[in-house]
Amino acid sequence: MGRDRGEKLMSKCPNCKNDSLSFETVDNLPLENPYCFECGDFIYDYEEKDNINPDHYKNGEIECIDAIQSSMTNEAFKGYLKGNIIKYVWRFENKNRQECLKKAIWYTDRLIKETSNG
């Protein structure tokens, strides 16, 4: 995610590469297709990437997070998850705002899962 346009948080446009892509109207209504304020047009072939858990972490027979977990004790892995939660909450105001918070939530959800598993 990118910068604010007034109160709205913008995403990067795949065409002009500026943080000027909106998914809502000025009245906060959802758009069927995102609109780029820099290009002045709708983006009809837009595919949102999963920046929270992208495909390159899932290549091979085992997902990266599972390989990390396999290399640690349960307590060490929980500490790893807690460290990532702290990191993403710590920096969210200065880097990728919503994306950092979504990553913190992803690690929090994983920590909850690990805690409930024993």
Domain boundaries, the chain: 4-42, 55-116
CA dihedral over 106, 108, 3, 21, signed as positive or negative: positive
- Residue at token pair 């972490």: 57
Q: What is the pLDDT along the chain (118 residues), one digit of tens a residue?
A: 443 444 455 677 778 877 777 877 777 777 777 888 888 888 777 666 666 666 666 677 888 899 999 999 999 999 999 999 999 999 888 877 788 898 999 999 999 999 997 5
Q: Can you tell me the distance from the alpha carbon of 113 to that of 105, in angstroms, rounded to the nearest whole number?
A: 12
Q: How many CB atoms lie within 10 A of CB 42?
A: 12
* pLDDT score for 34: 80
* pLDDT score for 74: 95
Q: Can you tell me the distance from the alpha carbon of 101 to that of 52, in angstroms, rounded to the nearest whole number?
A: 10
* pLDDT score for 55: 67
